[in-house]
Amino acid sequence: MSFNSIKVYHRCGGCGKKQEFVNSGKFRVNANGNCIDVWLIYRCKKCKHSWNLTIYERIKPSKIDSEKYEMFLANDEDLASQFGNDISFLKRNNAEFK
């Protein structure tokens, strides 16, 4: 599936150089004790190496809207696209634009 997201570039750990990364439309939700982390997964366009962009880090689950939390777990495509077009989110994750 192709997502209508801003083109971003990042140094790829697989290729060893700056490459274009694409929004996979998938979220990773990880529990760590009483806190959770949520990332949006991007993939290198060339080698498919992953890059996790932080949405939430070490946050109490009660601080996240329950509907939005369920959307993360369901890999909601509209929500993934929304984050993929959010300049401030991308900048916080050190994404480069061309």
82: closest CA among 27, 29, 34, 28? 27
**pLDDT recorded at residue 13:** 93
Question: What is the structure's pLDDT at 18?
Answer: 95
Q: What is the pLDDT of residue 1?
A: 46
Residue 2 has pLDDT above 60, yes or no: no
* 17-69 tens-digit pLDDT: 999 999 999 999 999 889 999 999 999 999 999 999 999 999 998 999 999 99
Provide the residue ranges of all domains of the chain, joining segments of one domain with +: 8-92
CB burial class (10 A; 0-12, 13-18, 19+) of residue 85? middle
Q: What is the gyration radius of the CA atoms in the chain, in angstroms?
A: 13
What pLDDT is attached to residue 4?
A: 72
Q: Tell me how far apart the alpha carbons of residues 84 and 38 are, in angstroms, rounded to a whole number.
A: 14
> Strands across the sheet with 18-32, in order?
8-11, 18-32, 35-44, 50-59
